[in-house]
Amino acid sequence: MSRICTAVSGGIAAYKACELVRMLRARGHEVRVVATANALEFVSKLTLQTLSGAPVRHQLLEASAESEISHIELADWAEVFAVVPATANVLAKLAHGLADDLLSTLALATRAPLVVAPAMNVNMYRHPATQANLDTLAKRGARIVGPGEGELACGWVGEGRLVELEAILAVIEQCRTEPALRGEVVLVNAGPTSEPIDPVRVITNRSSGRMGFAIAEAAARRGAEVVLVSGPVALPTPWGVQRIDVETAVEMREAVLAALPRATIAILAAAVADYAPERAEAIKIKREKQDTLSLSLVKNPDILAEVVASRGSTTVVGFAAETNDLLANARAKLARKGCDLIVANDVSRADIGFDADRNEVLIVGPRAEDVRAVPVARKSEIAGSILDRVLEVRRR
């Protein structure tokens, strides 16, 4: 994990920096917070210190802080320097190389990648001076994230909102991730499918989509172009990922096969329903009219098998969600489907798999000895292990 210096400047969006610090810590990063005097009018030092687990720096020449770690040592310590939010004033300082407070001095002294998340009034954002400053920073290699568009705290509507924190987090993590998938097009499917019985009832499963979304996010961080075909889930779209939402297995098949010709890697993590009602009723089935209900089910298309049959040079990874005989069932599925790898996990366990933040998997290849056990870890880490194995296959 990385050492992140999070610099908070004085806008109303400063309160969102608190949540970003918490998210960074939750993902294992070490965080130090630098705040301007104006930022501390919006959020307290105590809040930022509690969330970061380290003292908050806010003065350039602060004797007690300098005795522990000087501002130059802090600039050297940082592996990523993220300004969240970045006001118009701070953008001007950064663009013109001013160093009249701790934040701007650190930005000038550090050799770490610079991430800037602008947040301000729409007219300030659109002003030619602000646009020129952003252009200058981008040309120097700064990563500009946002801003978003919508209703602003000042009452105006337009550009200027701090972009979603997930997007900022993704860009920060990209700074420390080797772009090993640059030039690759990664197709991922995720989540369940939902097969209608009538207008209000469906057949589905317990898949949350978190594993597939983690893979899509990790692939994007590594520089890939990512297409994510998702069943109905309550998850935000990972930053930099093209998302296609579907409901049924038939819709998922159509979307996956449409995206397949461009894909160099296909990772099919979705829990596609094996069966669907033969006929969906046009109106709601009334409970009062019958004591029992029988459904006639028909097989859904086998998306993994069709992808393998049409893949060309695409590396294909399937998933096996099992409740028993994990390795044996994974090997049988690999042989039956003909894909390059199968990722198997035990969904009978409450601590991993469906609806959990953590997972434990076996990555199974075609040779008997080609089995890699990935112990219990966050799904983001599991995703990284899967992509590492995919890259090994592609380098053969």
Helix (H, G, I), strand (E, B) or coil at 151: strand
Q: What's this model's pTM, rounded to 2 decimal places?
A: 0.74
Q: Give Cα separations from 5 to 8, 12, 57, 154, 190 (angstroms).
A: 10, 20, 10, 28, 33
Report which secondary-structure segment, H or E, holds 215: helix 210-221
CA–CA distance, 172 with 166 (Å, rounded to integer): 10
Residue 65 has pLDDT above 70, yes or no: no
Distance between CA atoms of 144 and 158, rounded to whole angstroms? 18
CA distances from 351 to 70, 106, 233 (A): 43, 42, 20
Q: 160-207 pLDDT, tens per residue? A: 888 889 889 988 988 877 788 999 999 999 999 999 999 999 999 999
pLDDT at residue 68, as a whole number: 55
How would DSSP label each residue in 48-83? HHHHHTSPPB--TT-HHHHHHS-HHHHHHH-SEEEE
Note the CATH architecture for domain 3-175.
3-Layer(aba) Sandwich (3.40)
Is residue 165 within a helix (H) or strand (E), and if so which, with residue range? Answer: helix 165-175
Average pLDDT of every residue of the chain: 91
Residue in this structure with the two tokens 């002003």, named with its chain if needed? 127
**Residue type at 185 in one-letter notation:** V
User: Could you report the per-residue pLDDT of 284-303, keeping only the tens digit for each?
Assistant: 988 876 788 889 999 999 99
pLDDT above 70 coverage of the chain, percent:
97
Distances (CA, A) of 103 to 36, 61, 94, 153: 7, 12, 9, 24
CA 126/CA 114 separation, integer angstroms: 22
Per-residue pLDDT at 291: 80
Q: Annotated catalytic sites, by residue?
A: 154
What pLDDT is recorded for position 59?
83
Residue 330 has pLDDT above 90, yes or no: yes
Q: What is the pLDDT of residue 395?
A: 85
- Domain ranges across the chain: 3-175, 185-395
| Model pLDDT for residues 13-36, shown as the tens digit of each residue | 999 999 999 999 998 899 999 999
Cα–Cα separations (whole angstroms), residue 19 to 6, 172, 242: 12, 15, 25
Domain pair 3-175 / 185-395, same fold = yes
Distance CA 39, CA 238 (A): 28
CATH of 185-395, one of 3.30.499.10, 3.40.50.720, 3.40.50.10300, 1.10.3300.10: 3.40.50.10300
Q: What confidence score (pLDDT) does residue 272 get?
A: 96
Contacts of 59 (CB under 8 A, 6+ apart): 65, 102
286 vs 43, more confident: 43
DSSP state of 125: H
User: Is the separation of the CB atoms in 318 and 189 below 8 Å?
Assistant: no
> How would residue 230 be classed by pLDDT, with cut points 50, 70 and 90?
very high
